[in-house]
Amino acid sequence: MLRIGLTGGIGSGKSSVARLFAERGAVIVDADAIARAVVAPGTRGLAAVAERFGADVLGADGALDRAALAGVVFGDAAALAALEGITHPLIWAEAARQFAAVPADGIVVHDMPLLVEKVMSAEYHLVIVVLTDTELRVRRLVEHRGLDESDARRRIAAQVDDDARRAAADVLLDNNGSPGALANQAGALWDSRILPFAANLTAGRPATPRDFQAEYAAPLPREISDLILGQVRRMSARIAAAVGVGVIGGSPTGDGAIGSGVSTGVVAGEPTGQPAIGESSGVLEFAVPVPAWPDGAAYQRLAAAGFPVLDAQGDRLGNCDPAWPARIRLVPPRT
């Protein structure tokens, strides 16, 4: 199963991208929809919220008054933590149920607004960020969602900025243009990267080499060097998480599960040395230190995370992502 994390700031248009992928056959796990469902009338989630925050957060019909609840928790860290303590376990449980229902060869898109804030990038094979200029987002929120301008700006300011989103992104989609332009970007991404990535993952085969030398002629411009290093860091974090360094919800990631969204970090997965493009291999080459040598279960998690082993020694991994074919060397712990 290819797991894609899709995110973007409020009003960026990420839900439009989710719909475009759904039209092509992706299964969508919508975090916002799940968050609404777990506090719908008659649920234990709503009962727990009402017990904690009082009847004032309920409307006359007994449904959750979201505006009233927002007024209670916004700016109050303790109240927000209490709310999340009620809703987040329910949200993650339902998300896990939906992920588990996806076929082994399927493609699932997790439409997740707080992906960056919750440090969840290593839980996905691919993270897609939709970027839209702030002023356009404000206008969309006012015109399409009925927010007043000050509220729209307040909500945007409460989220992480676009620099943080760029750092987490494997792919950036620009939604400052027309709906057709966004659809063209999403369609090209689906055909050229997502479908072959999913096929490679299902088959357990690394992506084939590509002519990096023609694309990125040496010496590399600074922006290309930064692009490569950023991608290597994201891949290294996924490897570390699969080996068991990054722990989500008490168990290693990379086995097909989406956890609590609170990562303990992947410091040991920081790449060593300078990543290079092999002149003869046509793949990205770099090394990743691991605190413990992978066992059989860890190799299975690595393969599920998109990094199949390449040799009998088990110290070389490939990458299933066709955009970044790689030869990755695992560096054993010092004795």
Q: Per-residue pLDDT tens for 229-266? A: 899 999 999 998 898 754 333 233 333 333 333 333 33
**Percentage of residues of the chain with pLDDT beyond 90:** 67
Per-residue pLDDT, 71: 87
- In order of start, what are the domains of the chain with their CATH numbers? 2-203 (3.40.50.300), 212-331 (no CATH)
Per-residue pLDDT, 158: 86
- With 90 as the cut, is the pLDDT of residue 79 above it? yes
Q: DSSP readout, 228-258? A: HHHHHHHHHHHHHHHHTSSEETTEESSSS--
Spatial separation of the C-alpha atoms in residues 15 and 111, rounded to whole Å = 7
Q: Is 192 annotated as a binding residue?
A: no
Please check whether residue 174 is in contact with residue 18, taking contact to mean a CB–CB distance below 8 angstroms: no
Per-residue pLDDT, 263: 33
- With 80 as the cut, is the pLDDT of residue 270 above it? no
Tell me, rounded to whole angstroms, the distance of Cα 239 from its chain centroid: 15
Range 137-153 average pLDDT: 92
Residue 284 pLDDT grade (very low, low, confident, very high; cuts 50, 70, 90): confident
**Percentage of residues of the chain with pLDDT beyond 70:** 85
Q: Is 12 annotated as a binding residue?
A: yes
pTM: 0.86
Per-residue pLDDT, 278: 60
Range 25-48 average pLDDT: 96
Q: How many CB atoms lie within 10 A of CB 242?
A: 28
Q: Per-residue pLDDT tens for 161-214? A: 999 999 999 999 999 999 999 999 999 999 999 999 999 999 999 998 876 655
Per-residue pLDDT, 255: 36
Pairing of strands 284-289, 272-277: antiparallel
Please check whether residue 322 is in contact with residue 207, taking contact to mean a CB–CB distance below 8 angstroms: yes
- With 80 as the cut, is the pLDDT of residue 222 above it? no
Range 123-134 average pLDDT: 96
- With 50 as the cut, is the pLDDT of residue 32 above it? yes
Per-residue pLDDT, 157: 92
Spatial separation of the C-alpha atoms in residues 179 and 97, rounded to whole Å = 32
Q: Is 225 annotated as a binding residue?
A: no
Q: At what angle do helices 14-23 and 179-189 cross, to 10 degrees?
A: 50
Q: Is 256 annotated as a binding residue?
A: no
Q: Per-residue pLDDT tens for 295-320? A: 999 999 999 999 999 988 889 999 99
Q: DSSP readout, 21-32? A: HHHTTPEEEEHH
**Nearest CA among 107, 179, 200 for reference residue 136:** 179
